[in-house]
Chain A
């Protein structure tokens, strides 16, 4: 084939694609009011029982509506349930559904649907990661563990189509807050049984929320349109919501600047100064129910049985410098385990020395460091593991230099891929110090404090203190909220004085919102509902 013919052929290929490419879909006026949201990564599933990330939950919460939702201040507000009562012993919750609720296919939505969905969430065959959140319900734990096979034995019942009753095995004052979690969202039984694992795909999914799914192109976008059958459809002012999975904050920021997104998921930390200068009115922030901390491996030397060394390392960390100079995003420093942004009635316990000036802290730390058997001739040399992440690395470098300057500690910083770090944390073999962020699942202190119960699967430091375990157990069985909170505060105090972890800061979530978007405000547990948003003409 001579060159001229080859070029002709190539030209034909280009023309072919150009023909295909030129079939552009003009922006249609009948799309109505559209909301475009950046949404981090591709959701692992739209099935509430098989997903575990915030970005997946955000989509589900627009498609499916649970019994209650949480307002921006973490207070429960009625959703599919119009009201509820709690028995005096705190063991029975009765929800009354709104009358006339229907699914998007027109079939009635009844309390039975919720019974089915909650049973499904504890079904070992579904293997929901968040099944443990339902453990307060009678027999939930036994069903998850396979000790009870009959799902009907779960303490959930529907005495009539509009009443749902949940029976608990112990008082759980945070149950209402938990019920906003996506694990409690309803799914349509007929829908699930008809399509199996693919019931969440567009065209298949029957939903009851403010929107219905219309397109899902993995790694590109998820489109949903207004659900005319939603009970409060008259107050939904958006016709279409598009979620874009954009994993890189920088790419997301570019697309926001290009006018392709109305709300971002996050803000790239490196651009904060530029954003503050060029678009200050669009930058929003929300304190998160999240703790960024350093954990020790308490099961091996040098940290096992060496609280003085741990306290010395904690004392010399200048948290104000980390948040003020490194993060620069308004994140508050942390001297407690439980972040303040969760339960408004819970006052977190602070480390006793938190108000000491830095110079005094360093002097005290030097003494403790020497008492622990270390000094200039015999410096501590440790490995500090963290996830490969720019922000985490910045913090780690700062911490290592604070340790070096104040105490002469030699730190090697080891970046690890997230899964590798998680594996090392669980095995506790090579682990010495690690960096982690923990986000509360529901606005209650127990979501942080339960983590450190002896033998808990989440207890990566390997902390074990019978006094602590006893207080947590006692709190779990206490119906009186005030007393329960004081027990949890005591437990938090023990954890802090034991220096099991080094709390550093509580993150503030920064995101960008176009000036024409009104009513968007995620709460500290990241619950946001597109239906609350209005898009002004722009």
Chain B
């Protein structure tokens, strides 16, 4: 197991290197620089600004400077949040995205699995159709429609919950709507996945064997069917969790939540080279990590895959 982990981590290094290089180049090839604000009263002022951030150096020097800083764990200063370093911004934003994402994922797994299993056991009955319809709606209605609708109903009209913001970071009320908005599409996906895999699992010979042994239905479901049915869900969970905890761009924008998802958009629009690179590299690391976790979980859950 340890050797697998080491192999995967070492294997991720070239991937990350490619990500770093591509991000670096693509940002700099985009027209417009971080300090092009439309106001260039004096070319000297502009020159001083570029010099202060080493942007007047040849591209290869900038690249090597960036790699060198990166090797020391320094993502550099942010060009648009000038009072903070990229590391400070990620350290500040990631716990928020993580909390929001894990809460949403936990909600999605519990509700999604329950719905999926419920639908599978009542296959082709009315309840099943309701589950399918619900998950279709969840997938079809995008976040940028669902989030403002939730805000309008519960924040503006009923005023039960805040319409946006993050309060002081410890207030439950601010988190309910964003967590629901973020969880809804995942609930749908998990419900659909678990429904179809549960239907498939229920037709497996070992389930018939379990019933033949006289096991009660509850135990057959929980001990045998669920174990086979959960595998596709687990492989979905890895990238989905990585995606959700590194910040939902839309949900964070709509609810004005200070997570790192918002930095993606703002930094790219503002050509904040260091912040974009920092967030992308961080995102890359998280994806590699979660794919690794999924692989390990797979080995634990499915004896057929075994410990290669």
Q: Considering the chains assembled together, what is the distance between the CA atoms of A25 and B271 in angstroms? A: 37
B290 to chain A, nearest CB (A): 15
Which residues of B65-100 have CB atoms within 8 Å of chain A's CB atoms?
77, 80-84, 89, 92-93, 99
A159 part of interface (Cβ distance < 8 Å)? no
Q: Establish whether residues B44 and A145, one from each chain, have CB atoms under 8 Å apart when the complex forms.
A: yes
Q: Establish whether residues A217 and B258, one from each chain, have CB atoms under 8 Å apart when the complex forms.
A: yes
Q: Establish whether residues A254 and B39, one from each chain, have CB atoms under 8 Å apart when the complex forms.
A: no
B192 part of interface (Cβ distance < 8 Å)? no
Q: Establish whether residues A423 and B31, one from each chain, have CB atoms under 8 Å apart when the complex forms.
A: yes
Q: Establish whether residues B262 and A197, one from each chain, have CB atoms under 8 Å apart when the complex forms.
A: no
Closest partner residue, chain B, to A215 (CB atom): B168
Band of interface residues on B = 35 or more
Partner of B106, one of A10, A221, A425, A426: A10
Interface string of A121-150 (1 = CB under 8 A from B): 000111111111101000000001110000
A191 part of interface (Cβ distance < 8 Å)? no
A258 to chain B, nearest CB (A): 4
B101 to chain A, nearest CB (A): 11
Q: Establish whether residues A426 and B36, one from each chain, have CB atoms under 8 Å apart when the complex forms.
A: yes
Q: Establish whether residues B171 and A127, one from each chain, have CB atoms under 8 Å apart when the complex forms.
A: no
List the B side residues contacting A21 at CB < 8 Å: 103, 170-172, 175
Whether A219 touches B262, Cβ cut-off 8 Å, given contacts A17-B106, A42-B81, A127-B51, is: yes
Q: Which of A1-9, A79-87, A396-404, A509-517 has 4 or more CB atoms under 8 Å from chain B?
A: A1-9
B152 to chain A, nearest CB (A): 7
List the B side residues contacting A3 at CB < 8 Å: 113, 221-222, 226-227, 229-230
Q: Considering the chains assembled together, what is the distance between the CA atoms of A200 and B257 in angstroms? A: 22
Residue with the greatest number of chain A CB neighbours at <10 A, chosen from B46, B84, B221: B84
Q: Establish whether residues B227 and A458, one from each chain, have CB atoms under 8 Å apart when the complex forms.
A: no
Interface string of A168-185 (1 = CB under 8 A from B): 000000000000000000
Partner of B45, one of A4, A24, A132: A132
A20 part of interface (Cβ distance < 8 Å)? yes
Whether A14 touches B110, Cβ cut-off 8 Å, given contacts A127-B52, A258-B156, A457-B42, is: yes
Q: Establish whether residues A128 and B45, one from each chain, have CB atoms under 8 Å apart when the complex forms.
A: yes
Q: Establish whether residues B254 and A251, one from each chain, have CB atoms under 8 Å apart when the complex forms.
A: yes
A50 part of interface (Cβ distance < 8 Å)? yes
List the A side residues contacting B171 at CB < 8 Å: 21, 24-25
Q: Establish whether residues B99 and A144, one from each chain, have CB atoms under 8 Å apart when the complex forms.
A: no
Q: Establish whether residues A244 and B256, one from each chain, have CB atoms under 8 Å apart when the complex forms.
A: yes
Q: Which of A281-289, A376-384, A412-420, A470-478 has 4 or more CB atoms under 8 Å from chain B?
A: A412-420
Q: Which of B7-15, B18-26, B157-165 has 4 or more CB atoms under 8 Å from chain A?
A: B157-165
Q: Considering the chains assembled together, what is the distance between the CA atoms of A200 and B254 in angstroms? A: 28
* Chain B contact residues, CB within 8 Å of chain A: 30-33, 35-46, 48-49, 51-52, 77, 80-84, 89, 92-93, 99, 102-103, 106-107, 109-110, 113, 148, 151-152, 155-156, 159, 162-173, 175, 221-223, 226-227, 229-230, 253-259, 262-263, 266, 269-271, 300-301
Q: Considering the chains assembled together, what is the distance between the CA atoms of A420 and B268 in angstroms? A: 12
List the A side residues contacting B227 at CB < 8 Å: 1-3
Q: Establish whether residues A251 and B83, one from each chain, have CB atoms under 8 Å apart when the complex forms.
A: no
Partner of B226, one of A2, A133, A246: A2
B279 to chain A, nearest CB (A): 13
List the B side residues contacting A254 at CB < 8 Å: 148, 151-152, 155-156, 163-164
Q: Considering the chains assembled together, what is the distance between the CA atoms of A21 and B173 in angstroms? A: 8
Closest partner residue, chain A, to B99 (CB atom): A17
Q: Establish whether residues B256 and A251, one from each chain, have CB atoms under 8 Å apart when the complex forms.
A: yes
B103 to chain A, nearest CB (A): 5
List the B side residues contacting A128 at CB < 8 Å: 45
Q: Establish whether residues A258 and B257, one from each chain, have CB atoms under 8 Å apart when the complex forms.
A: no
Q: Establish whether residues B40 and A457, one from each chain, have CB atoms under 8 Å apart when the complex forms.
A: yes
A422 part of interface (Cβ distance < 8 Å)? yes
Q: Establish whether residues B172 and A24, one from each chain, have CB atoms under 8 Å apart when the complex forms.
A: yes
A306 part of interface (Cβ distance < 8 Å)? no
Partner of A131, one of B45, B51, B107, B254: B45
- Beyond the given A7-B113, A14-B110, A17-B102, please list 17 additional residue pairs across the A-B interface where CB-CB is below 8 A: A4-B226, A21-B171, A24-B173, A44-B82, A127-B49, A130-B41, A132-B41, A132-B45, A218-B258, A246-B164, A246-B256, A254-B155, A259-B159, A260-B162, A418-B269, A420-B31, A426-B40
Number of interface residues of A (CB under 8 A): 76
Q: Establish whether residues B37 and A2, one from each chain, have CB atoms under 8 Å apart when the complex forms.
A: no
Closest partner residue, chain B, to A223 (CB atom): B168
A22 part of interface (Cβ distance < 8 Å)? yes
List the B side residues contacting A77 at CB < 8 Å: none
Q: Establish whether residues B164 and A419, one from each chain, have CB atoms under 8 Å apart when the complex forms.
A: no
List the A side residues contacting B46 at CB < 8 Å: 457
B244 to chain A, nearest CB (A): 13
* Chain A contact residues, CB within 8 Å of chain B: 1-4, 6-7, 10-11, 13-14, 17-18, 20-25, 41-42, 44-47, 50-52, 124-133, 135, 144-146, 197-198, 200-201, 217-221, 244-248, 250-251, 254-255, 257-260, 417-420, 422-426, 436, 456-458
Partner of B82, one of A51, A221, A424: A51
List the B side residues contacting A14 at CB < 8 Å: 103, 106-107, 110
Q: Establish whether residues A144 and B48, one from each chain, have CB atoms under 8 Å apart when the complex forms.
A: yes
Q: Establish whether residues A422 and B44, one from each chain, have CB atoms under 8 Å apart when the complex forms.
A: no
Q: Establish whether residues A257 and B36, one from each chain, have CB atoms under 8 Å apart when the complex forms.
A: no
Partner of B83, one of A2, A45, A221, A422: A45
Q: Considering the chains assembled together, what is the distance between the CA atoms of A490 and B209 in angstroms? A: 98
Q: Establish whether residues A422 and B99, one from each chain, have CB atoms under 8 Å apart when the complex forms.
A: no
Q: Establish whether residues B170 and A23, one from each chain, have CB atoms under 8 Å apart when the complex forms.
A: yes
Whether A129 touches B113, Cβ cut-off 8 Å, given contacts A217-B258, A244-B256, A423-B31, is: no
Q: Considering the chains assembled together, what is the distance between the CA atoms of A130 and B227 in angstroms? A: 64
Residue with the greatest number of chain A CB neighbours at <10 A, chosen from B32, B148, B256, B257: B256
Partner of A220, one of B166, B173, B175: B166
Whether A458 touches B230, Cβ cut-off 8 Å, given contacts A127-B52, A219-B256, A418-B269, is: no
B241 to chain A, nearest CB (A): 11
Whether A197 touches B77, Cβ cut-off 8 Å, given contacts A3-B227, A217-B258, A423-B36, is: yes
Closest partner residue, chain B, to A41 (CB atom): B266
Q: Considering the chains assembled together, what is the distance between the CA atoms of A244 and B165 in angstroms? A: 8
Partner of A258, one of B33, B103, B162, B300: B162
Partner of B163, one of A23, A200, A258, A418: A258
Whether A7 touches B83, Cβ cut-off 8 Å, given contacts A23-B170, A25-B170, is: no
List the B side residues contacting A47 at CB < 8 Å: 82-83
Q: Considering the chains assembled together, what is the distance between the CA atoms of A190 and B51 in angstroms? A: 25
B125 to chain A, nearest CB (A): 22
A19 to chain B, nearest CB (A): 10
Q: Establish whether residues A24 and B269, one from each chain, have CB atoms under 8 Å apart when the complex forms.
A: no
